[in-house]
Amino acid sequence: MRTIIVDKKFNNKKLSDFLYSNFNRLTKNTLYKAFRKKDIRINNIKISEDTLIKTGDEITLYILDNLLFKSIALEKVYEDDNILIVNKPSDIEVVGENSLTAMLQRDYSFVSPCHRLDRNTTGLVLFAKNKDTLDILLNKFKNKEIEKHYLAKVYGIPKEESKNLFAYLFKDNKKSMVYISDIPKKGYVKIETSYTLLEKNTAQNYSILDINLHTGKTHQIRAHLAHIGFPIIGDGKYGINEINKKFGYKTQQLCSYFLKFNFKTDAGLLNYLNGKIIKLKFPKN
């Protein structure tokens, strides 16, 4: 049994549209079979056909989970009583409908992400398995006591093998874009990104960079690297379409591959994690 509340986005829309949006494996055949068997209720009233729904309606489905959700094998890189670290695949959000968090919440009484990755960025995502852990880790991220590194495949080869980059970022929510400036501007926030050159291919003019994200703003790595002339290959938003086609990538080649717990202050029940490093041996990118 699954119960879900209708949000305002689907007010006065068809029930079928709402269900297809929330359950990625639900088929028309399964849905109409449920109508015939009266296995769907709206506000505890059985229904036998598609109908309009309203914000706040409670939808209850008596349909097996394997008919509602696509099965995705998630790689659990590390787990203990307090935390879970998952290697996120591409083409899935960390939070929201049909997200990584939603999948995990089917198996855990409590699980909440401590940070996010873009939909098509792969790699390590840290989850808290209880409220006390969540509060501690959010505070540690805020105080920069958790170190995150990414691998990025970029077009071009930097002259300097390592560099600390400073700039200013503006987030345009309407366009779902961010913009980078080298000088302070109204509405822009300061960002810091550093890179180390790990590998270069002069024949194909690309590099593999280790990226240390000091300030975690939306699209920061992607936009900042593009701004300095080294767009991430495969990035359809900040990259170069011709280059993406040349290399054959449809999503940004960016992977969160390294986490280190650098606690400078007391971490309570998580003190045992201090100094611990979690690293992907074979990043998907």
Q: Where are the domains of the chain?
A: 2-67, 75-145, 148-256
pLDDT at position 284 over 60: no
What's the CATH architecture for 2-67?
A: Roll (3.10)
Average pLDDT over residues 208-215: 95
Confidence at residue 31, expressed as pLDDT on a 0 to 100 scale = 95
Q: How confident is the model at residue 285 (pLDDT cuts 50, 70, 90)?
A: very low
pLDDT at position 251 over 90: yes
118 flagged as catalytic: yes
Candidates 39, 57, 118, 235; catalytic one: 118
Please provide the CATH number assigned to the domain covering 75-145: 3.30.70.580
Average pLDDT over residues 60-65: 91
Picking from 161, 90, 98, 152, the residue whose alpha carbon sits closest to that of residue 125 is: 90
| Mean residue pLDDT across the chain | 94
Percent of all residues in the chain with a pLDDT value above 90, rounded to a whole number:
84
Please provide the CATH number assigned to the domain covering 148-256: 3.30.2350.10
Confidence at residue 13, expressed as pLDDT on a 0 to 100 scale = 95
